[in-house]
C-alpha cells in the first residue's frame, strides 16, 4: 500500500505567522521538500516560494541551505527515536553477541519502519556530507543513554572482535545502514530516482524478519575479524 508524506494541513496561514511560527513552518516545509526531492532538488528559493515568504527570511533563520538541512535532520531524524527505543529495550547482557546484534537490528527496524520519510534524511546526510551530521547525533545520543543501556552497549561492543578499521561508532552507523538496505529492498520503489534528487514511493512486501536474519549474518561477517564464535 502506497503511503504519502505528511502535509501542512491545519497549519496557520503564512500571513498570520509571527517569526517563531514562520521558522516552524519553514522547517516542516523543508522536511517535505528534502524527503520529496532530495538535497540537490531542494533550493532556498523553492522553500521560500512554498511558504510564501521571501528568501531573506529563510536566510535570517538558517543562514544557509546546509544549516537548514542540519536543523531539519535534528527535528526529524529517526536517530532520536532509535536511541529512545534502545533506552527502553537494550540488548540483553547475557545473550551471545550475534543474538544481541540481531536484537539491536530488530529494534532499529521496528522503530524506523513507519518513519521512512525521515530515514531519507540519513541517506541524504551520508550522500552529501559523508554522514558527518549523523555521527554527531549518534555521539550525542550515546552520551545521553541511561546507565543500563549504556552498559549493555559497551559490554556488547567489547565482546565483538571488530575489524581494526571499524570503531564502535562506525559499527553502529554500519548496522543502521544495513537495516536501511533491508528497508530499501523490502519497501522502496525507485531508489535511483531518489539518489538523482527526485522523490521515492514505497510499499510493504516480503518477510522482514527473515531479511533481517540474513542481513545480520552478512553484516557480522563483514564487520568482525572472524565470523564464528559470536
pLDDT digits (tens, 9 = 90+) for 153-206: 778 888 888 888 777 777 877 888 788 778 777 655 445 444 444 444 444 456
Mean pLDDT (the chain) is 78
Q: How confident is the model at residue 18 (pLDDT cuts 50, 70, 90)?
A: low
| Same domain? 132 vs 200 | yes
For the chain, percent of residues with pLDDT exceeding 90: 25
- Per DSSP, helices labelled H in 41-199 are 44-50, 55-62, 65-76, 78-88, 97-112, 116-129, 132-144, 147-159, 168-187, 191-195
pLDDT greater than 90 at residue 7: no
Cα torsion angle, 53, 59, 64, 66, sign: negative
pLDDT in tens, 92-131: 878 888 999 999 999 988 888 878 778 788 888 888 998 8
Q: What is the per-residue pLDDT for 127? A: 85
The pLDDT of 38-67, averaged and rounded, is 96
Domain count, the chain: 2
Q: Phi, psi at residue 205, to the nearest 5°? A: -165, 165
The pLDDT of 40-68, averaged and rounded, is 96
Within-domain flag for 176? yes
Rounded CA-CA distance 40/23 in Å is 21
What does the block give as the cell for 26? 519553514
| Same domain? 65 vs 103 | no
Last residue of a domain, one of 6, 39, 73: 73
Within-domain flag for 9? no
Domain hosting 61: range is 14-73
Indicate which CATH number applies to the domain containing 33.
1.10.10.60
What does the block give as the cell for 93? 547482557
Residue of 68 and 112 predicted with greater confidence: 68
Tell me the whole-structure pTM to 2 decimals: 0.66
Instruction: Kindly tell me the burial class for residue 194, based on how many C-beta atoms sit within 10 Å of its own C-beta (0-12, 13-18, 19 or more).
Output: buried
| Same domain? 116 vs 219 | yes
Within-domain flag for 1? no
Residue of 191 and 21 predicted with greater confidence: 21
Amino acid at each position: 500500500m502506497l503511503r504519502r508524506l505528511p502535509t501542512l494541513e491545519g497549519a496557520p496561514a503564512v500571513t498570520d505567522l509571527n517569526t517563531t511560527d514562520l521558522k516552524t513552518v519553514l522547517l516542516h516545509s523543508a522536511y517535505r521538500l528534502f524527503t520529496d526531492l532530495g538535497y540537490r532538488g531542494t533550493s532556498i528559493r523553492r522553500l521560500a516560494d512554498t511558504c510564501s515568504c521571501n528568501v531573506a527570511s529563510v536566510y535570517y533563520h538558517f543562514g544557509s541551505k546546509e544549516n537548514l538541512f542540519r536543523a531539519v535532520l535534528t527535528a526529524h531524524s529517526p536517530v532520536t527515536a532509535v536511541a529512545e527505543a534502545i533506552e527502553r529495550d537494550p540488548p540483553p547482557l547475557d545473550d551471545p553477541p550475534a543474538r544481541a546484534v540481531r536484537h539491536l537490528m530488530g529494534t532499529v527496524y521496528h522503530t524506523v519502519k513507519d518513519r521512512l520519510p525521515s530515514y531519507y534524511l540519513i541517506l541524504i546526510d551520508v550522500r552529501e556530507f559523508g554522514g558527518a551530521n549523523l555521527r554527531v547525533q549518534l555521539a550525542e545520543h550515546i552520551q545521553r543513554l541511561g546507565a543500563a543501556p549504556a552498559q549493555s552497549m559497551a559490554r556488547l561492543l567489547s565482546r565483538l572482535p571488530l575489524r581494526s578499521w571499524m570503531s564502535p561508532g562506525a559499527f553502529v552507523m554500519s548496522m543502521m545502514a544495513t537495516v536501511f538496505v533491508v528497508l530499501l529492498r523490502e519497501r522502496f520503489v525507485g531508489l535511483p530516482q531518489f539518489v538523482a534528487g527526485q522523490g521515492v514511493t514505497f510499499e510493504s512486501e516480503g518477510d522482514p524478519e527473515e531479511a533481517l536474519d540474513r542481513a545480520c549474518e552478512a553484516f557480522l561477517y563483514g564487520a568482525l575479524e572472524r565470523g564464528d564464535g559470536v
